[in-house]
A and B are shown apart, each in its own frame.
Chain A
């Protein structure tokens, strides 16, 4: 889909500029770990949302790790949609993450003590 395509480009572009670098940085790790984890799944283990195919996306390990850390049971058939949404979110994030703000810029809070 065009948005996903556009998003991937902007995510990569942001990574080159040092933004969204976490996502990009994880891609190499993801690809490495996919090789080490590609053996038969252990009996009784919860199926990974992405382990039933070759991991080719930098976000697959993030989804797997964060899903486990947050206690989310992500069914395999949900994996591609979650990944697509993460691509969109990181693509959108790149638009403002790359935008320079002064160090003393403060967030816009509403909480008042």
Chain B
């Protein structure tokens, strides 16, 4: 059986019905990792022993007729900023390699394993998540399965490569300014950045507390919903986690898009877009019969405020390490963090005030809209090592600007599903943006686009 392009839902169904064992599914994933990860460089730790034990436990439970959960036997991996019992949480850094091993898994790993999934490893990422490229000076770049000379996008670059390359059907990542949506776009897979506070970040290495989100990657919208539903629920260990009831999205997935009020973000979100980004958004808009454009007010200032909050909160987090171990940082990260340490608090306070103002203006839009469409990235995957690209006639750094269209959205914590459009030769994604707590709507739209063939995670040639 060719298992490596099976969805999580298909694997769980095979295991639940006894047509395949969890052990076989995990062995297939481990074999695929062994075969392809030397090139893709998506894993920083492969937990074969742990995974085999866990799979065996699932198979024993299944044989005894016990409940094995909706994700039984589904292999998954996590960005290496999630705590994993027994290993240090690297967060893409050299410095954290000297940290003691974690004594407990991140809460989202616990929840996925409670649903029957099997953790197989930790994934490469940009250092301390301050990255949009997927490059890492310590571990090497994660490589795009559609062209291994190209970026995966970051900072959850390993997550993008592992799912797009068929090594695992599901991965977890984090998204402060776009770190789920950018790799989803460049690698051509589905990604969900939930509402700020929806999924607990407990026992993950932080970056910018005001903006940090965690969420899943998958190759289908259904898998996103399946995994997201298994991870929902309040956790008091994360102070920003909302105390809301679980709101399952999977039962709503087939409701379609009939009656949804949808518009395309104009202005800022068109400016600078490469032709491929425009083609993708036009294709999605046409499939949804959308002929309305809308301006998200002051999006450029929102992006700027997110930029400053990120630099300063990130600097605050790392100030001690900048004092003691500055030479051990990735220089590109270190120099941005040092600069962030020197920004006056007055500007940060103004950025947070602007955030509140902007949030209210954008929420006003959702009184007459259900969904806003916007590009996820301005272009398809740049070459690894590429420093600049031409945006709206201006040569700008790739590293800081791949998240141009994601930052104004995560700035106010709106839920987004990134849906891949399989352009030739490289895919690119479109953001399906909804009002807070509207993950079900975004997933419905993503599923509808997938059903019509407009959104699809293309299978790479590897």
Whole-angstrom distance between the Cβ of B166 and the nearest chain A Cβ:
37
**From residue 61 to 113 of chain A, which have CB atoms closer than 8 A to chain B?**
62-63, 66-67, 70-75, 78, 81-86, 88-90, 92-97, 99, 101, 105-112
Which of A1, A62, A96, A110 meets B239, CB within 8 Å?
A110
Contact residues in B for A28 (Cβ distance below 8 Å) = none
Contact at A71–B323, with CB atoms within 8 Å?
yes
SS of B interface (majority): helix
Whole-angstrom distance between the Cβ of A93 and the nearest chain B Cβ:
5
Cβ of A3 within 8 Å of any chain B Cβ, yes or no, is: yes
In the bound assembly, the distance between CA atoms of A86 and B347 in angstroms comes to: 13
Contact at B357–A101, with CB atoms within 8 Å?
yes
In the bound assembly, the distance between CA atoms of A96 and B343 in angstroms comes to: 14
Cβ of A22 within 8 Å of any chain B Cβ, yes or no, is: yes
Cβ of B140 within 8 Å of any chain A Cβ, yes or no, is: no
Contact at A2–B394, with CB atoms within 8 Å?
yes
B interface residues, how many (CB within 8 angstroms): 48
Cβ of B271 within 8 Å of any chain A Cβ, yes or no, is: no
Cβ of A6 within 8 Å of any chain B Cβ, yes or no, is: yes
Mark each residue of chain B from 332 to 352: 1 if its CB lies under 8 Å from any CB of chain A, else 0.
Answer: 001110111111100101111
Cβ of B292 within 8 Å of any chain A Cβ, yes or no, is: no
Which of B331, B341, B354, B355 meets A72, CB within 8 Å?
B341
Contact at B323–A105, with CB atoms within 8 Å?
no
Contact at B395–A95, with CB atoms within 8 Å?
no
Whole-angstrom distance between the Cβ of A7 and the nearest chain B Cβ:
11
Contact at B342–A78, with CB atoms within 8 Å?
no
Contact at B298–A66, with CB atoms within 8 Å?
no
In the bound assembly, the distance between CA atoms of A1 and B180 in angstroms comes to: 28
Cβ of B234 within 8 Å of any chain A Cβ, yes or no, is: no
Contact at B351–A93, with CB atoms within 8 Å?
yes
Q: Kindly name the residue among B304, B351, B356, B357 whose own CB sees the greatest number of chain A CB atoms within 10 A.
A: B304
Contact residues in B for A86 (Cβ distance below 8 Å) = 339, 342-343
Which of B240, B301, B338 meets A82, CB within 8 Å?
B338
Cβ of B326 within 8 Å of any chain A Cβ, yes or no, is: yes
Nearest A residue to B395 by beta-carbon distance?
A: A2
Contact at B394–A108, with CB atoms within 8 Å?
no
Contact at B311–A89, with CB atoms within 8 Å?
yes
Cβ of B104 within 8 Å of any chain A Cβ, yes or no, is: no
Which of B300, B311, B331, B352 meets A95, CB within 8 Å?
B300
Which of B308, B350, B412 meets A89, CB within 8 Å?
B308
Sort chain A's interface into a size bin.
35 or more
Contact at B304–A93, with CB atoms within 8 Å?
yes
Contact residues in B for A106 (Cβ distance below 8 Å) = 353, 356
Contact residues in B for A72 (Cβ distance below 8 Å) = 322-323, 326, 338, 341
Contact at B353–A66, with CB atoms within 8 Å?
no
Given contacts A70-B323, A92-B308, contact A99 B301 (CB under 8 A): yes
Contact residues in A for B85 (Cβ distance below 8 Å) = none
Whole-angstrom distance between the Cβ of B310 and the nearest chain A Cβ:
10
Whole-angstrom distance between the Cβ of B319 and the nearest chain A Cβ:
7
Contact at B354–A89, with CB atoms within 8 Å?
no
Nearest B residue to A94 by beta-carbon distance?
A: B304
Contact at A88–B400, with CB atoms within 8 Å?
yes
In the bound assembly, the distance between CA atoms of A5 and B338 in angstroms comes to: 21
Cβ of B197 within 8 Å of any chain A Cβ, yes or no, is: yes
Whole-angstrom distance between the Cβ of B436 and the nearest chain A Cβ:
13
In the bound assembly, the distance between CA atoms of A85 and B311 in angstroms comes to: 10
Contact residues in A for B327 (Cβ distance below 8 Å) = 75
**From residue 23 to 49 of chain A, which have CB atoms closer than 8 A to chain B?**
none
Nearest B residue to A59 by beta-carbon distance?
A: B342
Whole-angstrom distance between the Cβ of B440 and the nearest chain A Cβ:
23
Cβ of B94 within 8 Å of any chain A Cβ, yes or no, is: no
In the bound assembly, the distance between CA atoms of A89 and B348 in angstroms comes to: 11
Cβ of B305 within 8 Å of any chain A Cβ, yes or no, is: yes
Contact at A96–B342, with CB atoms within 8 Å?
no
Contact at B307–A92, with CB atoms within 8 Å?
yes
Whole-angstrom distance between the Cβ of B360 and the nearest chain A Cβ:
10
Contact at B359–A81, with CB atoms within 8 Å?
no
Contact residues in B for A94 (Cβ distance below 8 Å) = 304
Contact at A97–B396, with CB atoms within 8 Å?
no
Contact at B307–A89, with CB atoms within 8 Å?
yes
Cβ of B96 within 8 Å of any chain A Cβ, yes or no, is: no
**From residue 305 to 331 of chain B, which have CB atoms closer than 8 A to chain A?**
305, 307-308, 311, 319, 322-323, 326-327, 331
Contact residues in A for B453 (Cβ distance below 8 Å) = none
15 of the cross-chain contacts (CB-CB < 8 Å) are: A1-B396, A82-B335, A89-B339, A90-B343, A92-B305, A93-B343, A94-B304, A96-B308, A96-B350, A97-B347, A106-B353, A107-B349, A107-B352, A110-B239, A111-B239
Further pairs besides A66-B342, A72-B323: 7, Cβ < 8 Å: A2-B394, A82-B335, A82-B339, A85-B339, A93-B308, A99-B301, A108-B356
Question: Can you list the 4 inter-chain pairs with the closest CB atoms, starting with the nearest?
Answer: A107-B352, A85-B339, A81-B335, A92-B304
